[in-house]
Structure 1
Amino acid sequence: MANSLIFVDLPSDDPSAAGKFYAEVLGWENDPRPEGVFHRMVPGGFFKNKDGSDSQIGNLHLGINDAANMRPHPDPAPQAPFKLATDGRKPRVWILLDDDEKPEDVLKRAEDRGATILWRKHYWAEFNGLNHAFADPWGNEIILWEKGGDSPDVPADYTRE
């Protein structure tokens, strides 16, 4: 496939703490490369085939980069801007939850580690998914996604669109 998405970087003013946050909240491997400068978060596993078996395609990784010196860049000196974006819309990262993972548990782990809950219990019929969201301590927005299934049983306390 042409122009395949292979990686997404999240800015942080503390990549070590952000790496620890995602390891504890989502259970990902925190791979510092090097520590405090860039952390590759490794979810592990492979995308699934329609029959549920593993495909040959490994899951995407997520990078956490130091906002004061985003690498790579052709100039070895840090390049502006040097701070986190705090106002306005930012990219969102969508995380498909495992079938055995409860969104309430992920939200609790995130909130206990400084995240802000943006919403809970929403159903988006257009893409047939239940979703919840938080902003990590660095302001990055994370959407937790659960597939609705063939005949979704959307709980009464969920908002809908």
Structure 2
Amino acid sequence: MSYPNTLIFVDLTSDDPAACAAFYADVFGWENDPRPYGVFHRMVPGGNALNPDGSESQIGNFHIGIHNAANARPHPEADGVEPRFVAGMGRKPRLWILVSADDSVERILDDAEKRGAEILWRDHYWKEFNGLNHAFRDPWGNEIVLWRKGGENPEIPGHYTRE
């Protein structure tokens, strides 16, 4: 294999894709592109991945899909297949969001919580990947980890938990 298989998209599950898409448009400022409305919504963060010097690269940021648990599209069967509900409690995929220098973790968590999200944790430092992180669960059960790079010589606030 000369070129690797490439991750191109990640979907979140919801029982109300339109409301879920509105949540992410409000919390992160992403474009909500319904295709079609209420069935599948493509969330477009916009911009490109950054180069090490902070300039924009030629690589566009990943898009995120939101599909309807009652009939996840695409599927060869018109009615889709079971299960037809959002995931319950327990482990499931998590979405990691690199927080822009133009935004704040506090604003994102506050906006998410005002819109029905549950804050899972705040203020944690993971030395292995040199990242400051925080997390919430959206109203549909999807878990989002917010990430900020620690930098070359990170100053970790004293109240942060660490590992």
TM-score (norm 1): 0.98
In 2, distance between residues paired with 1:51 and 1:129?
19
Q: What is the DSSP-based 3-state SS (H/G/I as helix, E as strand, rest coil) of the residue aligned with 2:140?
A: coil
Distance across 2 between alignment mates of 1:156 and 1:51: 29
3-state DSSP class of the match of 1:57?
strand
In the TM superposition, what whole-angstrom CA distance separates every residue of 1:124-149 from its partner, at most 9, and x where no partner exists? 00000000000000000000000000
Q: 1:83-122 maps to which residues of 2 (within 5 A)?
A: 83-122=85-124
The structure 2 residue matched to 1:63, chosen from 56, 65, 81, is 65
Residue 80 of structure 1 is aligned with which of 82, 87, 92? 82
Shift of 1:8: 0.2
- Offset of 1:56 from its aligned partner? 1.1
1:131, 1:50 → 2: CA distance? 20
- Structure 1, residues 41-87: CA drift from partner, whole Å, max 9, x if none? 00000011222221111000000000000011111123110011103
Cα drift, residue 28 of structure 1: 0.4
The letter for the 1-side match of 2:54 is G
Tell me how far apart the structure 2 counterparts of residues 117 and 87 of structure 1 sit (CA, whole Å). Answer: 15
Cα distance in 1, alignment partners of residues 21 and 46 from structure 2: 15
TM-score normalised per structure 2: 0.97
1:101 match: secondary structure = coil
Task: Indicate whether 1:144 and 2:146 are aligned.
Answer: yes
Gaps of 5+ in 1: none
Give 1:11's aligned residue.
13
Equivalent in the alignment of 1:129? 131
Q: CA RMSD in A?
A: 0.8
Q: Which moved more, 1:42-51 or 1:146-155?
A: 42-51
List, as ranges, runs of 4+ consecutive aligned residues in structure 1 with deviation greater than 4 Å: none
Which one-letter code corresponds to 2:41 in the other structure?
H
Measure the CA separation in 1 of the matches of 2:62 and 2:80: 27
Question: How many percent identity over aligned positions?
Answer: 65
Please tell me the residue identity of whatever aligns with 1:7.
F
* Secondary structure of the corresponding residue to residue 16 of structure 1: helix
The worse-fitting range, judged by mean Cα deviation, of 113-122 and 72-81 is 72-81
C-alpha offsets along residues 73-127 of structure 1, whole Å, 9 cap, x if unaligned?
Answer: 1111231100111031010000000012110110000000000000000000000
CA distance in 2, matches of 1:50, 1:78: 43
Matched residue count:
161
Match of 2:34 in 1: 32
Q: SS at the partner of 2:13?
A: strand
Output the CA distance in 2 between the equivalents of 1:100 and 1:44. 14
Displacement of 1:30 in angstroms is 0.5
